[in-house]
Structure 1
Amino acid sequence: MFSKLRKRIFLRCPTCRAIVLHKDHYLTPEQEKERYELHHNDINDLGYKKFVSPIIQAVENDYNPNHFGLDFGSGSGPIVTSLLSKKGYQITMYDPFFTPNTNALSAKYDYIICCEVMEHFYDPAKEFNLLYSLLNQNGSLYCKTNLFKSSIDFTSWWYKNDSTHVFFYTSETLNWIQKTYGFISVTISDKIIVFQK
């Protein structure tokens, strides 16, 4: 056991060094959707636009509107899709709760956006296998999440308090994912994580 806080148990993976909420504390799909519906992801909110801007800039730097992208876990307010679509980019949305477009999971993409999504993965192995399979060769997977570092006091770390956040990554975790799932490289910064196929 890594930590026990407010009766919630967190474990530490000895292999990839991630911190994982014990599955006994996972929400039901109904509870999870209800929680997401409380998020006020207004696509016109300037603060939210600034928050996602590192991903927007990365896509614009690496791809043009002729490439095909997937917003994986696009949520109730798909701001990334909205902003890129306005610039002519071709983005398909998929979200298990708000855009359950399963046809999107049988296509191939030049890039995939996973913005504030990977901390919600109940089965990261399944999800990263899927994401890798959906990418074209030389494709990019752009991720955004808060990484746990040894300098952080976990007991007071705000990011773990969201009941839908179940999997917390470290830089070691990301490097392990890169090697395990076959990505050529991973670039890690505080603002964006990029896996290259």
Structure 2
Amino acid sequence: MMATCPLCASAETAFYHRDARRDYRHCRRCDLVFVPPVFRLSPAEERAVYDQHENSPDDLGYRRFLGRLFDPLRERLAPGARGLDFGAGPGPTLSVMFEEAGHPMAIYDPFYAPDAGVLEEEYDFITATEVAEHLFAPGEVLARLAGRLRPGGWLGLMTKRTTTREAFARWHYILDPTHVGFFSEASFQWLAESLGMSVEFPAADVVLLQKPAAGSREGGLSENIADRVPCCR
């Protein structure tokens, strides 16, 4: 079964793993491991899984979990920096944490907060926690988000990363049927280069990408790509 990589659009993909439910392919260009479209859930099936989530700002354990992204990103933000939490889910919490820290926030979620108007505005930072692995078109979506950043802005992502093929076969992360894309550190390095952004890895499941400041010779690619693509799943 051939399938084009949903991150870099390369046709150079190969079989990687098979379990009882689906196949997984590997991209030789950007190192993404992904589930071919034939194995994806329908929107209704996806929504049924997400409706089972019980995340809430009142859950201190969930706040600690989100702190892995919140803490390093907050350290890099100017006072009053404005953000967007993309893929906020049924119980937006990270946005509440940033608002408590003095950062005005917008939220977007295709199922629970589908106001696409917020995706046309510009932000000092954008977060997407436990979102990248759900995206059907991660290359398009992440480029679009990068294009909504002001110069010097940050894109903060939280998703577990692949390591070895042997570990992948035993990985609990692939058991969630809504997880369809699995990034390695090399995948994010490819993404950063393609968008003209810098990249940092402050934790095993956290990635921070920064858009160049105004006047820099870098970064034009991110705006050009983002202007060409829709924001979609």
TM-score range, shorter chain: over 0.9
Deviation at 1:2, TM superposition (A): 0.6
- The answer on 1:57 being equivalent to 2:71 is yes
Name the residue aligned to 2:143.
Answer: 129
Residues 181-192 of structure 1: pairs in structure 2 closer than 5 A? 181-183=195-197, 185-188=198-201, 189-192=203-206
After TM superposition, which residue ranges in structure 1, 4 or more long, deviate above 3 angstroms? Answer: none
Q: In 1, distance between residues paired with 2:210 and 2:105?
A: 19
- The answer on 1:11 being equivalent to 2:25 is yes
Residues 145, 152 of structure 1: alpha-carbon distance in 2 compared, 3 angstrom cutoff? farther
Among all aligned residue pairs of Structure 1 and Structure 2, give the percentage whose two residues are the same amino acid. Answer: 29
Which TM-score applies when normalising by structure 1?
Answer: 0.95
Q: Secondary structure at the match of 1:42?
A: coil
Deviations 1:56-93 (A, max 9, x none): 21232122452110001111111101122223320100
Q: Is the 8 A contact 1:64 1:89 kept in 2?
A: no
Which TM-score applies when normalising by structure 2?
Answer: 0.81
Q: Out of 88, 113, 128, which is 2:102 matched to? A: 88
Q: In 1, distance between residues paired with 2:121 and 2:167?
A: 41
Name the residue aligned to 2:164.
Answer: 150
CA RMSD, aligned part only?
A: 1.3
Residues 16, 191 of structure 1: alpha-carbon distance in 2 compared, 3 angstrom cutoff? closer
Q: Is the 8 A contact 1:3 1:9 kept in 2?
A: yes
- Length, aligned pairs only: 196
Deviations 1:148-188 (A, max 9, x none): 002752221000110110000011101000111221x1112
Gaps of 5+ in 1: none
Gaps of 5+ in 2: 1-14, 212-233
Moved more, 51-60 or 161-170: 51-60
Q: In 2, distance between residues paired with 1:49 and 1:144?
A: 14
Q: In 1, distance between residues paired with 2:114 and 2:189?
A: 30
